[in-house]
Amino acid sequence: MTRILLVEDNEMNRDMLLRRLSRRGFEVLTAENGKAGVELAASENPDLILMDMSLPVMDGWEATRRIKANPDTSRIPIIALTAHAMASDRDMALEAGCNDYDSKPVDLPQLVRKIERLLTTPH
């Protein structure tokens, strides 16, 4: 079963995505802030990470940089999820090391296509 780490501080968004992705057959782990996301990435080695960028304790940009700088977690694809929908926000997420970007509110079929593409494409 594909394991996804969802790093999201908003409880309603986290619960909604957890339920919807679980129904699609994914095992979903959750973290409420960037620091916890970095720690879970290292300890649980998920297949993919969905990273909110505006997070408490450690933001998603820094969490992504730390995950990509760690040789044990650098291969894990990361999709940035953010309400910031400007082209510059996408560029910042990619520069931090995210493999893809999606804006909120989440379009689940589109997000699942991105997840499946990243899971089947070498990076």
Q: What does the pLDDT look like over 64-114, one tens digit per residue?
A: 999 999 999 999 999 999 887 777 888 988 999 999 999 888 999 999 999
Instruction: Name the pTM for this structure.
Output: 0.93
pLDDT of residue 83: 84
User: What DSSP designation does 87 have?
Assistant: H
Q: What is the dihedral of CA 16, 17, 19, 21, to 10 degrees?
A: 160
